[in-house]
Amino acid sequence: MKGIKVVGGVPLNGEVKIQGSKNAALPLMAAALLNKGTTILYDCPQIADVFVMEEILRLLGAKTVWNNHTLEINTEFIDKTQVDEEQGRKMRSSIILLGSLLGRFQEGAVPHPGGCVIGKRPIDLHLKALREMGAEISEIQGEIFAKTRGLRGSRIHFPFVSVGATQNAVLASVLAKGDTILEGCSREPEVCTLCRFLKKAGAKIEGIGTSRLMVTGVEKLHDVVFQVPKDRIAAGTYLCASAITRGQCVLLDAPVEEMEAVLLAYKKMGGQYTCNSGKLTLCSFHADKPLDNLQTQVYPGFPTDLQSVFMAALTVARGESRITENIFEDRFKTVPQLQAMGARIEMEGNTARILPGELTGTEVIASELRGGAALLVAGLAAKGETYVKNCSYIERGYEDICRDLCMLGAQIYRD
Ligand code: UD1
């Protein structure tokens, strides 16, 4: 069980480069399956979830090569359509392989997906979309089998927004026969990125960035070289690290255009910032104000992935904050750990009341990716030493959070 030690009380000061986005890279890797050829992804983050997706593709028969942060995927000789059970269960994103496998091979199988423990996380919308496009789907002993005599364009309405289900439906539709109209789609940047990637590879997609996507099926895709965007959640995490220590940090290549809601919350906390050609300069000397009503929402609202990290930062604000979680019902798993560090948090349904207080370092345990990062952020402001156990969760999404926080001057050490 890997752990990270943080010595608190040091205002952060320095520059850090933001990594490529996990949530953008994973669907692009799944999309690589649709083209019988080569996909090259620049700036692909070297994180556990990407390695799991790489292993899944390799076990299907793909060839992959890393050159620094460039990942080349060749899917010419894929000879299997059943995703490896052990690897597939490690990560919820494996479900989006079903859309690609059906699109290219008319069949596919994935284990019921795993992923972070942040709620029930059903996959009904994914299966609904694929069924409406002509897939026959059955679940046998925890494995989902899908086959089709050819996917056909269809009109699909999502009753509520799902990032993954939108991506799965887009992946399935690009090689389907005819037009697919997807309504109620996610507008998250990672959906737009997937659509832009597919267009570059020859797909026909309109409505990118809106909740209505129109896809006209094409015969095949072609090779593509694509830049993975920067990680807005990693950038938001380091923004909170700056805020909680009242530091002064520069985030290089931060995707500021995707961070409007996050920067607004930071500003309301008293943080100041300037952005200049991708360089986000933060001055957090006065970032000590509470937030009276932070609500997680689908994009362009405030992202659920930064809820726990902001909660950590608000535990030392000078007044009472309230955060409401509207996306995942079980995303307050980190609260007892923050309380163990002295945070004064009271839960009322899906709303957390965060009362002003002080943090003291102690041993805590990460139980999911972003919650684990939140504990490290809390440790930066805690008196004494914080030891966060179970850090393999954090490595699923952050390439090297210790290196990055060290660049900002934190005293942080890995076991
Ligand atoms: C993606 C992100 C995750 C982020 C989430 C919301 C990746 C790899 N993960 O997850 O980091 O927190 O978007 O921005 O990109 N739902 C259903 N049925 C379904 C699908 C979803 O009920 O078939 C529910 C979920 O339980 C949840 C909500 O819809 O309550 C949103 O989930 P969704 O947008 O699908 O999240 P993911 O794509 O899994």
pLDDT single digits (tens) 291-308? 999 999 999 999 999 999
Annotate 133-187 with three-state secondary structure. Answer: CCCEEEEECCEEEEECCCCECCEEECCCCCHHHHHHHHHHHCCCECEEEEECCCC
- pLDDT greater than 80 at residue 214: yes
The average pLDDT across 124-136 equals 96
CB distance 28 to ligand 1 below 6 Å: no
CB distance 305 to ligand 1 below 6 Å: yes
- pLDDT greater than 90 at residue 277: no
Domains present along the chain, CATH in parentheses: 3-19+230-414 (3.65.10.10), 22-227 (3.65.10.10)
Q: At 121, is the pLDDT very low, low, confident or very high (cuts 50, 70, 90)?
A: low
The average pLDDT across 222-239 equals 98
249 is catalytic: no
CA of 26 to the centre of ligand 1 (A): 14
CB distance 250 to ligand 1 below 6 Å: no
In 4-133, which ranges are E strands? 4-7, 13-17, 38-42, 63-67, 70-74, 107-111
Q: Report the pLDDT value the prediction gives residue 329, as an integer from 0 to 100.
A: 79
Helix/strand/coil for 16: strand
Q: Report the pLDDT value the prediction gives residue 2, as an integer from 0 to 100.
A: 81
CB distance 304 to ligand 1 below 6 Å: yes
Residue pLDDT, tens place only, 79-106: 999 999 999 999 888 999 999 999 999 9
With beta carbons less than 8 A apart as the criterion, state whether 68 and 42 touch: no
Give the span between the Cα atoms of 98 and 95, in whole angstroms. Answer: 6
Provide the whole-model pTM.
0.97
Q: Report the pLDDT value the prediction gives residue 122, as an integer from 0 to 100.
A: 86
Residue pLDDT, tens place only, 237-248: 999 999 999 999
Taking the CA of residue 167 as reference, the ligand 1 atom at the shortest distance is 38
CB distance 64 to ligand 1 below 6 Å: no
- pLDDT greater than 60 at residue 249: yes
CB distance 159 to ligand 1 below 6 Å: no
Q: Report the pLDDT value the prediction gives residue 194, as an integer from 0 to 100.
A: 98
- pLDDT greater than 60 at residue 192: yes
Q: Report the pLDDT value the prediction gives residue 114, as an integer from 0 to 100.
A: 55
Taking the CA of residue 305 as reference, the ligand 1 atom at the shortest distance is 12
Q: What share of the chain has pLDDT > 70, as a percent?
A: 98
Q: Report the pLDDT value the prediction gives residue 115, as an integer from 0 to 100.
A: 46
CA of 366 to the centre of ligand 1 (A): 21
The average pLDDT across 232-258 equals 98
The average pLDDT across 122-140 equals 94
CA of 191 to the centre of ligand 1 (A): 12
Residue 222, number of CB atoms within 10 A of its CB: 12
Annotate 184-243 with three-state secondary structure. Answer: CCCCCHHHHHHHHHHHHCCCEEECCCCCEEEEECCCCCCCEEEECCECHHHHHHHHHHHH
The average pLDDT across 149-157 equals 96
Q: Cβ-count burial of 311 within 10 angstroms (0-12 exposed, 13-18 middle, 19+ buried)?
A: buried
CA of 406 to the centre of ligand 1 (A): 32
CB distance 125 to ligand 1 below 6 Å: yes
* Better-predicted residue by pLDDT, 53 or 2: 53
Enumerate the H helices of 306-352 as residue ranges.
307-314, 335-340
Taking the CA of residue 164 as reference, the ligand 1 atom at the shortest distance is 38
Q: Report the pLDDT value the prediction gives residue 119, as an integer from 0 to 100.
A: 53
- The closest residue, in CA terms, to atom 32 on ligand 1 is 162
Nearest CA-CA partner of 194 in 219, 176, 220, 172: 172
Give the span between the Cα atoms of 346 and 355, in whole angstroms. Answer: 8
CA of 12 to the centre of ligand 1 (A): 33
Q: What share of the chain has pLDDT > 90, as a percent?
A: 93
